[in-house]
Amino acid sequence: MDISALLVFLLIGALAGWLGGVITKGGGYGLLGDIVIGVLGAVVGGYVFSVAGVAAGGFIGSVITATVGAVILIFLVRLLKRA
């Protein structure tokens, strides 16, 4: 993985984590927190999209996939914190 791909990967993670926080009315989680949530959200979103038979490509598709996953992840974490 070259440096530009790594930077794009981190940018998508940060953007998706921040968007996930805004959508779930939690705000951001700081740069590092947003990146972690976004990267984990990309994994969750990729799995959910593949099960649903949906494919999203390119930068925007990656951000959408990661954001959907981040929202799901934040929702599940909040659910577990209540229990």
Quick: pLDDT tens for 15-58: 999 999 999 987 778 899 999 999 999 999 999 999 999 998 89
Treating both helix axes as pointing N-terminal to C-terminal, what angle do 58-82 and 3-23 enclose, rounded to 10 degrees?
Answer: 50
Is residue 11 predicted with pLDDT exceeding 90? yes
Quick: pLDDT tens for 49-73: 999 999 988 999 999 999 999 999 9
Nearest to 63 by CA among 7, 20, 4: 20
What span, in angstroms and rounded, lies between the C-alpha atoms of 24 and 35? 16
| pLDDT score recorded for residue 62 | 95
Q: Using an 8 Å Cβ cutoff, are 37 and 29 in contact? A: yes
| pLDDT score recorded for residue 27 | 75
Q: Using an 8 Å Cβ cutoff, are 72 and 64 in contact? A: no
| pLDDT score recorded for residue 29 | 84
